[in-house]
Structure 1
């Protein structure tokens, strides 16, 4: 098989830049938008996120099955990236729109648009994340591909965090009440050609003939009975509870606890900036330590960073910046989970002849969404339990709740994530 070239890695990384322009906008700002602009209560937002993930339990595996049984001259996965991208633009704009239908009508609208956004994101992102499994059978190339997509993620997140609040405030000054909608729409429109560029250039080199494709039932059986597959899926769930749960509620910490609105962008960006520095070293670190040990190191750094923010003097800006640097070093393990999934696909194929890549990657995507929903719902629920109400005075009790939801809860979850990593038994 021909070796991958720089253009392949670049094109694949660009795909995750595009993903972040939609989904990181959602994960970082949708909770705040729903409570402070849309007008939903914190508890209603938490329930909405959980209901959406229940639907994903049906939708994501269904998408995986469709992918596995798609056979076109462009491959099994790339067509869905190309088709799903424009739908993602539409639903991103709709999700950040306040329709003015009254309290009940607005709530129903939020359910329809948010669940719809999750469906088209699945249609676009699950095939994207599965591409390394069909682009190369060389583990080192797979590591580099997944490092490229993690770099794309970090670059997209940095750009988004740098620009979002200034853009929201700018557009609010021109069109009151529409700052989030216009900003989210602009990001989604920029993401569209990036998705298409990725789909065009990331060729699928490993193919499955239609007559050799296993049934969806068989693919599910292979994945559910595979200890290594379930270990990676469990790790993904816990990692996303910690990471995206913190990101989803972090703005409350910076606004109401640190009380430094001017530095929100710096704090939100710092771990990603550090990640952008350490991630290029990821493949060499993985080659030296192996994927499991690299993940151990990453999770420990993330745990320590969160605990520093929880126990430390949160109004001491230099100290907080140091804590965010420590947390950001944990991004060094970002490529490991996806590379482990490719190893699982290869292992199942070598043992059984089946290639359940669509089902496996869709289930891992579902695990990530469930983790994000649980993290965001748990974080906002903890803040609500301690008495947070938009527009009301912030008491010390509310600040303690924000601290627990944003920093302590993720630290505990990162420690728990060490367990499924230890259960993964495939050799590097």
Structure 2
């Protein structure tokens, strides 16, 4: 007997569905592996200073250099992936190539030579950080991000992929933040304990990447189904020279809006990740309250993920983003009016976390929409480069976030040795915790009122399809 023919399914917009349940879970695993790598890097400053004994200033400089170089590699790797051969399978082949190097370098991150001198240790810190983030992570994350764009043409399926990836990324952050210190302390709290911990994470990352690749290499993409229906082979898009491709992206207003969106939200996210400790210590007088706020925020996040898909389905991509931005501005406004009330602080944090979760699920979807626009306007998708350049905005935003935070503290005359905060210190903390997110979310809301691509996409796709039939 022959193989049972797969039932053809369509979404509400009449676009063919191609995703299977195992595709979503494999996708989740790939993002979980990337998230473990990224969030592990966030723990390194503490490891370098408290376990290896390196000077915080030297570590900060090395990490800053690594972050700058890391940000630049996204566009380069994106263009490199677009120029590579292999059809749709090329997006997963990079994951296979980098899986073992990723596991090896994760362990190497913790084998800093302590007895070789400060200069050698710092050089090792810089080298391993560059290898993990600027090279290996980027070479996996850039083509993996492009998969969401080329895997399916259905906005509904792209939203579901975004949801699974957001859960994977957030889950990785939770795992690393919750278990790292207790586990390494349980193992002895020494550098050797961190090496053992790194080995376990490395094995987990390796397995997750291999599982994701194994599923991906068998997957059928939207273009594969289209080629079958037209009884022809899938054509490989001709690569565009780097300078020409970059010029096309810069003339795509929708891509520019998403780039700005990623840049600004990454800045505020980076600031928010550190602001809670300062707020709890200097405004409420007890830094242990961070755990209370974090637990409440985590509960809100779970609920947010659970209802993200229905929200996106009901309101659509653009309206969901606009509601999220406006909704996030309101809690910040309330905090500005009542900055010293702990209950208000906790409740507004809960509401803000809940409202912004659907936005986390839509970064890839929005990028995919700009790629569709590229194809309509220029006849070229520029898949990986579009996603890589968006990744550039995120990485630069994260780097600038620490600069913004330091700038606010410097202007406020921050002094960690004081027993209580001065007036200027308190207002600097209010500035980056309350006023900055209020202003940023309002600005982004008004910018997104110009994002009308979602309504135009169906007609654009019809025109692209008609052009292909004429050839």
* TM-score (normalizing by structure 2): 0.78
Q: Distance in 2 between matches of 1:83 and 1:341?
A: 25
Q: Distance in 2 between matches of 1:94 and 1:375?
A: 27
Residues 345-372 of structure 1: CA deviation (Å, up to 9, x unaligned):
1122133321201100000111110011
State yes or no: 1:396 paired with 2:428: no
Q: Distance in 1 between matches of 2:279 and 2:38?
A: 21
Q: Is the 8 A contact 1:273 1:328 kept in 2?
A: no
- The residue number in structure 2 matching 1:166 is 182
- The residue number in structure 1 matching 2:448 is 421
Structure 1 residue 342, shift from structure 2 partner:
0.7
State yes or no: 1:189 paired with 2:215: no
- In the TM superposition, 1:268-283 aligns within 5 A as 268-283=294-309
SS at match of 2:89: coil
Structure 1 residue 385, shift from structure 2 partner:
6.0
SS at match of 1:378: helix
- Of residues 132-141 and 251-260 in structure 1, the stretch that sits farther from structure 2 once superposed is 251-260
1:333 is aligned, of 354, 359, 363, to 359
* TM-score (normalizing by structure 1): 0.85
2:268 is aligned, of 201, 218, 242, to 242
Q: Is the 8 A contact 1:154 1:275 kept in 2?
A: no
SS at match of 1:212: coil
For structure 2, list consecutive stretches of 5 or more residues without a partner in the other structure.
1-15, 224-233, 456-471
Q: Distance in 2 between matches of 1:22 and 1:39?
A: 23
1:87 is aligned, of 90, 101, 111, to 101
Q: Is the 8 A contact 1:14 1:194 kept in 2?
A: yes
Larger Rg: 2
Structure 1 residue 295, shift from structure 2 partner:
1.4
Q: Distance in 2 between matches of 1:388 and 1:166?
A: 30
- Of residues 211-220 and 256-265 in structure 1, the stretch that sits farther from structure 2 once superposed is 256-265
SS at match of 2:221: coil
State yes or no: 1:3 paired with 2:29: no
Kindly tell me: are residues 253 and 82 of structure 1, through their superposed partners in 2, closer, same or farther at Cα, counting changes over 3 Å? farther
State yes or no: 1:292 paired with 2:318: yes
Q: Is the 8 A contact 2:277 2:287 kept in 1?
A: no
Structure 1 residue 394, shift from structure 2 partner:
5.5
Structure 1 residue 104, shift from structure 2 partner:
3.7
Kindly tell me: are residues 225 and 2 of structure 1, through their superposed partners in 2, closer, same or farther at Cα, counting changes over 3 Å? same
Kindly tell me: are residues 222 and 150 of structure 1, through their superposed partners in 2, closer, same or farther at Cα, counting changes over 3 Å? same
Kindly tell me: are residues 251 and 415 of structure 1, through their superposed partners in 2, closer, same or farther at Cα, counting changes over 3 Å? same
Q: Distance in 2 between matches of 1:420 and 1:32?
A: 38
State yes or no: 1:367 paired with 2:393: yes
For structure 1, list consecutive stretches of 5 or more residues without a partner in the other structure.
none
Q: Distance in 1 between matches of 2:185 and 2:290?
A: 14
1:302 is aligned, of 308, 318, 328, to 328
- Of residues 319-328 and 36-45 in structure 1, the stretch that sits farther from structure 2 once superposed is 36-45
SS at match of 1:359: helix
Q: Distance in 1 between matches of 2:125 and 2:408?
A: 22
Residues 283-322 of structure 1: CA deviation (Å, up to 9, x unaligned):
3322332322211222234344456667656683x54432
- The residue number in structure 2 matching 1:12 is 27
1:125 is aligned, of 135, 141, 150, to 141
- The residue number in structure 2 matching 1:52 is 66
- The residue number in structure 2 matching 1:145 is 161
Kindly tell me: are residues 93 and 412 of structure 1, through their superposed partners in 2, closer, same or farther at Cα, counting changes over 3 Å? farther
- The residue number in structure 1 matching 2:467 is none
Kindly tell me: are residues 21 and 57 of structure 1, through their superposed partners in 2, closer, same or farther at Cα, counting changes over 3 Å? closer
- Of residues 279-288 and 29-38 in structure 1, the stretch that sits farther from structure 2 once superposed is 29-38
2:38 is aligned, of 12, 15, 23, to 23
Residues 347-404 of structure 1: CA deviation (Å, up to 9, x unaligned):
22133321201100000111110011111232245446656678x5554149635554
Kindly tell me: are residues 44 and 301 of structure 1, through their superposed partners in 2, closer, same or farther at Cα, counting changes over 3 Å? farther
Q: Distance in 2 between matches of 1:268 and 1:412?
A: 23
Q: Is the 8 A contact 1:31 1:249 kept in 2?
A: no
- The residue number in structure 2 matching 1:99 is 113
